[in-house]
Each structure stands twice: as structure tokens, then as C-alpha cells.
Amino acid sequence: MKHVVVVDYGSGNLRSVSKAAEHVAAADTRISVSRRIQDIHDADAIIFPGQGAARSCMHNLIEAGIEKAIRQAALEKPFLGICMGMQVLMDYSEENNGVHCLGILPGEVTPFRFPAHLKLKVPHMGWNQIAQTQAHPLWHGIEDNSRFYFVHSYHVQPADHTLTAGITDYGHSFTAAVAHNNIFAIQAHPEKSGDMGLKLLKNFLNWNGTP
């Protein structure tokens, strides 16, 4: 039986993520929500969801005592970061006057900055396209420029452009997905993104962590 843990650190749309994963999981795959260190260590794969602010996310990880377990899991097993679960993989976020993040992937998280004449609203909220910038098993069966659902005011800027797996345009192009070895992370919410989001989750549950 394959065991996939959706990490509960007191932030994130856990029920929606876990229910969406259960919906597409194979009969031999068990989805559970947990913050127990042993469950994270023993899991075959990790889904790291998140919403809210970077400072509270990092605080909750540390308070729950699972920061080290998350870092270790990101080195060893298929790992899917969602929304804030993508942003805190970076070194540093400008949110909340600056927050040091997990530093699993090199890069920063910055706010949307637009010329005044664009009059774009922040947060970036709603459906938008993701252009795939590299082939990856999690894009299997998902057409390029498929639409996903976003809710965010900050976006990642990887230090290494080869980490970018997908880009989206909102006033300017920004990194909407990153991939590195056994890690894939996406700014959009696949659990809110209809058929394409479910397809991405199914691809993750079937993924062995090999790029």
C-alpha cells in the first residue's frame, strides 16, 4: 500500500487537497493528513499545501516541530508543493517585512509590482494559463497553456532559471511551477482547478520522483 501524507501544519486547504487526492488515487494508495514526524518520515510521498502568509507558515512549521522532517522529505521522496507550500521552499520571502524560508530551492519570493497604468488587482485571483517550460511527468496529459486557479499576492523568482517548469502572465511573466529532482511545486491550486488540476494530482500520485 502506497502512503501519501498531506502535511498539516495548521495552514492550508487540507480537506480540499486531501479529498481531491483521494478522488484520483489508485486503490492501492492511501491518503492521510498528518503533522506527525514519524508519518512524514514513513510516507512514500508528500503533499505540502499552504495558504496565508509566509511568516505564519514558517512559524507553524517550527511550532509543530516538523521543519526538519519537511526538509528531509524534500530530499528523499516525491514531493508536491502547492501555493504557499511552493513559496516557502525558497530561501527568502519579502512578505511580512522579510521572512527566511526553508531554503530547499534557491530563490526569493517577491510581490507583484506593476506600472500604475496597468491597474491590475492584487491578489492575482482566478483562472489563468500555465505555459509549460520543460517536460515533466506531472504535465503528462495536460495540454500546454491549460488553465489553473490562482490566489496569491507574491510569486517566486528562482535563482536558477532551469528550475522553472511553468510560467504564467499577469502584468508580467512569473514562475508558476518549479521542478527539481523529486520536487514539483505549483503556485496555482490543483484542488480547485477542475479536470486539469485533478490530472496533475493523479500524475503526482503515480510519480516515482524521477524527472
pLDDT at 17: 96
State yes or no: is 191 an active-site residue: yes
Q: Nearest-CA neighbor of 11 among 56, 47, 41?
A: 56
Mean of all residue pLDDT scores within the chain: 96
Domains located in the chain, CATH noted:
2-205 (3.40.50.880)
Query: What would the mean pLDDT of 60-85 be, rounded to a whole number?
Result: 95
pLDDT at 90: 98
Question: Which pLDDT band holds residue 51 (cuts at 50, 70, 90)?
Answer: confident
pLDDT surpassing 90 at residue 12: no
Task: Give just the sign of the alpha carbon dihedral 4, 8, 11, 17.
Answer: positive
- The catalytic residue among 124, 152, 180, 189 is 189
pLDDT surpassing 70 at residue 133: yes
Residue given cell 486531501 in the structure block: 18
pLDDT surpassing 90 at residue 13: no
Question: CA angle 26-31-35, nearest 5°?
Answer: 160
- The catalytic residue among 57, 83, 124, 152 is 83
- The catalytic residue among 95, 101, 180, 191 is 191
Contact 20, 198 (CB under 8 A): yes
Q: Which of 82-86, 112-116, 184-188, 197-201 has the lowest mean pLDDT?
A: 112-116
Q: Which DSSP category does 190 fall into?
A: G
